[in-house]
């Protein structure tokens, strides 16, 4: 669908470079780093490769041998990379599982953790979602959501949908690993870390056009996402938006988009879902409503409908009139928000109307002074450097590695201790 609307994609390519710094721009569009000749037996060769890929500068290493230090060259890191003034010591040997060298924890959900990894043969930078069976069983419908997400992700290949490269399971550990492309942060993290808690209209336009491209692709594949929101919209190293988290998505069996179950975030759900009066819903229109709430949130920092308690929220979504954000927005954006946030599904705009509207097709002037940039590593862990760097140095310096059989998750023992503490507290109170 992208090639039918060259103006939007052209603007995307032009503006994305402005939003991200030179350090991030050196990485390819899909988040990969170029493969180079790599000599596994030499730590010097390792540093040569990393420096050549602009993943390491003098600031990444504060103490190393004379030979290694000679390989470093002056350079300027972008916001995605770390400036460090202190030496970091590895407490554990580097860990390799199925050919992936593990780095730091970069995210955590109700039943999964996300860590940064590097494929040791190709040096491609990835993220891996680690799902523990024990955690999964505690979540209602958790196993179904994971199997659904895997089934859906295997079918997808689009620049605005997060890509899955590998899926494997370690039976001994009762863990599932989903290897995906590496992204630096979500739109929600950008909102949380900026002063005004919202984006300028031109920047919201950049992301919304990509969201529509990605969502339209999902719909053509008969996939209803059901949980579109800023937290599920990631940004790659070069600023490309990626739709993620298809755990509650539905793969339609026919061309009809009627759905009977929606498990998305309440504030982003349409009236026909929260009213409780309808037994089935038009899935594509549910996603479009969520896109409207997302866009409203991006340009205002608030929601079109809210409530102190869940029932009040549902009442407002169902009956309260739509009011435009208190912050000034263009007339064409007002028209778009009014169209996609129609309470009656039959009156709500579809993808074609969205793509043809003035706000979507217009070129928006970029104001560099107002751009909300990716959160800096200096202030938040939302952006991380190559966190596996220390593991790489140790690995190619001949130090011992941890394999699948030896690997133990740090959180495993902590979870057992935390689980025992409430029981001990309760026992004391009973006595």
Instruction: Indicate which CATH number applies to the domain containing 279.
Output: 1.10.510.10
The answer on 100 and 212 residing in a single domain is no
Rounded CA-CA distance 115/105 in Å is 4
Q: Is residue 327 part of a domain?
A: yes
Q: What is residue 40's predicted lDDT score, i.e. its pLDDT?
A: 35
Q: What is residue 251's predicted lDDT score, i.e. its pLDDT?
A: 85
Q: Is a pLDDT exceeding 50 seen at residue 19?
A: no
When divided into structural domains, the chain yields a total of 2
Q: Is residue 288 part of a domain?
A: yes
Return the minimum-mean-pLDDT range out of 107-121, 235-249, 270-284: 107-121
Rounded CA-CA distance 101/103 in Å is 7
The answer on 194 and 338 residing in a single domain is yes
Using 50, 70 and 90 to split pLDDT, how confident is the model at 229?
Answer: very high
Segment 415-426, tens digit of pLDDT:
554 555 555 555
The answer on 262 and 155 residing in a single domain is no
Q: What is the pairing mode between strands 175-181 and 112-119?
A: unpaired
Q: Which residue has the higher pLDDT, 378 or 354?
A: 354
Contact 23, 78 (CB under 8 A): yes
Range among 46-50, 355-359, 396-400 rated most confident: 355-359
The answer on 283 and 195 residing in a single domain is yes
Q: Is residue 172 part of a domain?
A: yes
Q: What is the pairing mode between strands 258-259 and 281-282?
A: antiparallel
Q: Which residue has the higher pLDDT, 208 or 65?
A: 208
Q: What is residue 266's predicted lDDT score, i.e. its pLDDT?
A: 95
Q: Is a pLDDT exceeding 60 seen at residue 292?
A: yes
Those residues whose C-beta lies under 8 Å from the C-beta of residue 365, and which sit 6 or more positions away, are: 202
The answer on 202 and 124 residing in a single domain is no
Compute the average pLDDT of residues 12-31. Answer: 42
Q: Is a pLDDT exceeding 70 seen at residue 77?
A: no
Is 129 within any annotated ligand binding site?
Answer: yes
The answer on 127 and 35 residing in a single domain is yes
Q: Is residue 13 part of a domain?
A: no
Contact 221, 155 (CB under 8 A): yes
The answer on 191 and 176 residing in a single domain is no
Q: Is a pLDDT exceeding 80 seen at residue 380?
A: no
Those residues whose C-beta lies under 8 Å from the C-beta of residue 39, and which sit 6 or more positions away, are: 45, 46
Q: Which of 183, 273, 275, 195 is nearest to 235 (CA)?
A: 183
The answer on 260 and 319 residing in a single domain is yes
- Model-level pTM? 0.69
Q: Confirm whether 227 is a catalytic residue.
A: yes
Q: Is a pLDDT exceeding 70 seen at residue 118?
A: yes
Active-site pick, 54, 227, 238, 245 = 227
Q: Which of 245, 252, 240, 211 is nearest to 227 (CA)?
A: 245
Q: Is a pLDDT exceeding 50 seen at residue 43?
A: no
The answer on 243 and 360 residing in a single domain is yes
Residue range of the domain that includes 300: 186-370
Contact 92, 402 (CB under 8 A): yes
What percentage of the chain has pLDDT greater than the value 90? 41
Full strand arrangement of the beta sheet holding 112-119 = 96-97, 100-108, 112-119, 125-132, 175-181, 164-170
Rounded CA-CA distance 51/208 in Å is 35
Q: Is a pLDDT exceeding 80 seen at residue 233?
A: yes
The answer on 273 and 160 residing in a single domain is no
Q: Is a pLDDT exceeding 70 seen at residue 57?
A: no
Q: Is residue 169 part of a domain?
A: yes
Range among 70-74, 121-125, 343-347 rated most confident: 343-347
What percentage of the chain has pLDDT greater than the value 70? 65
Compute the average pLDDT of residues 86-91. Answer: 46
Segment 310-339, tens digit of pLDDT:
999 999 999 999 999 988 999 999 999 999
CATH number at residue 406: 3.30.200.20
Rounded CA-CA distance 294/428 in Å is 47
Q: Is residue 10 part of a domain?
A: no
Q: Which residue has the higher pLDDT, 85 or 207?
A: 207
Q: Is residue 99 part of a domain?
A: yes
Q: Is a pLDDT exceeding 80 seen at residue 194?
A: yes
The answer on 175 and 193 residing in a single domain is no
Range among 38-47, 80-89, 184-193 rated most confident: 184-193
How far is the CA of 230 from the CAs of 12, 116, 189, 199, 267, in angstroms? 18, 21, 8, 12, 12
Q: What is residue 246's predicted lDDT score, i.e. its pLDDT?
A: 83
Q: What is residue 402's predicted lDDT score, i.e. its pLDDT?
A: 56
Q: Is residue 361 part of a domain?
A: yes
The answer on 249 and 123 residing in a single domain is no
Evaluated on CA atoms 203, 206, 210, 212, the torsion sign reads positive
Q: Is a pLDDT exceeding 80 seen at residue 8?
A: no
Q: What is residue 12's predicted lDDT score, i.e. its pLDDT?
A: 46
Q: What is the mean pLDDT of the chain?
A: 75
Q: Is 404 exposed, middle or buried (0-12, 13-18, 19+ CB in 10 A)?
A: middle
Segment 127-185, tens digit of pLDDT:
999 988 877 777 666 777 777 777 777 778 999 999 989 989 888 888 889 999 999 89
What is the SS3 string spanning 348-380? CCCHHHHHHCHHHHCCCCCCHHHCCCCCCCCCC
């Amino acid at each position: 669908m992208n090639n039918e609307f060259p103006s939007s994609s052209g603007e995307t390519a032009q503006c994305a470079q402005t939003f991200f710094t030179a350090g991030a721009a050196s990485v390819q569009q899909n988040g990969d780093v170029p493969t180079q000749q790599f000599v596994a037996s030499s730590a010097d060769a390792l540093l040569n490769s990393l420096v050549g890929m602009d993943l390491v500068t003098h600031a990444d290493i504060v103490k190393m041998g004379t030979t290694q230090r000679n390989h470093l060259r002056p350079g300027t890191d972008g916001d995605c990379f770390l400036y460090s003034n202190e030496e970091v010591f590895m407490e554990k040997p580097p860990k390799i599982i199925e050919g992936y060298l593990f780095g730091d924890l970069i995210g955590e959900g109700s039943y999964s953790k996300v860590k940064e990894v590097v494929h040791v043969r190709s040096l491609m930078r990835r993220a891996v979602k680690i799902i523990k069976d024990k955690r999964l069983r505690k979540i209602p419908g958790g196993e179904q959501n994971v199997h659904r997400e895997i089934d859906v992700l295997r079918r997808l290949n689009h620049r605005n949908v997060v890509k899955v490269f590998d899926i494997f399971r370690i039976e001994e550990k009762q863990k599932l690993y989903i290897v995906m492309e590496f992204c630096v942060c979500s739109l929600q993290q950008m909102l949380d870390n900026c002063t005004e808690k919202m984006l300028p209209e031109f920047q919201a336009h950049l992301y919304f056009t990509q969201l529509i491209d990605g969502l339209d692709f999902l719909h053509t594949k008969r996939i209803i996402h059901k949980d579109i929101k800023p937290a599920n919209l990631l940004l790659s190293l070069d600023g490309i938006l990626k739709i993620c988290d298809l755990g509650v998505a539905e793969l339609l069996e026919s061309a009809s988009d009627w759905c009977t179950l929606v498990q998305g975030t309440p504030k982003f759900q349409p009236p026909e879902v929260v009213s409780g009066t309808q037994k089935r819903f038009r899935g594509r229109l549910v996603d479009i409503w969520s896109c409207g709430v997302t866009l409203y949130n991006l340009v205002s920092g608030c929601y079109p409908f809210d409530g102190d308690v869940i029932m009040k929220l549902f009442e407002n979504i169902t009956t309260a009139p739509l009011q435009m954000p208190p912050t000034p927005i263009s007339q064409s954006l007002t028209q778009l928000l009014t169209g996609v946030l129609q309470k009656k599904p039959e009156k709500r705009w579809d993808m074609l109307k969205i793509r043809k509207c003035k706000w979507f097709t217009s070129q928006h002037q970029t104001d560099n002074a107002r751009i909300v940039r990716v959160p800096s590593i200096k202030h938040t862990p939302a952006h991380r450097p190559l966190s596996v760097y220390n593991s790489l140095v140790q690995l190619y310096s001949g130090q011992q590695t941890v394999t699948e059989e030896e690997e133990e998750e740090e959180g495993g023992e902590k979870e057992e201790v935390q689980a025992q503490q409430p029981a001990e507290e309760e026992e004391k109170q009973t006595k």
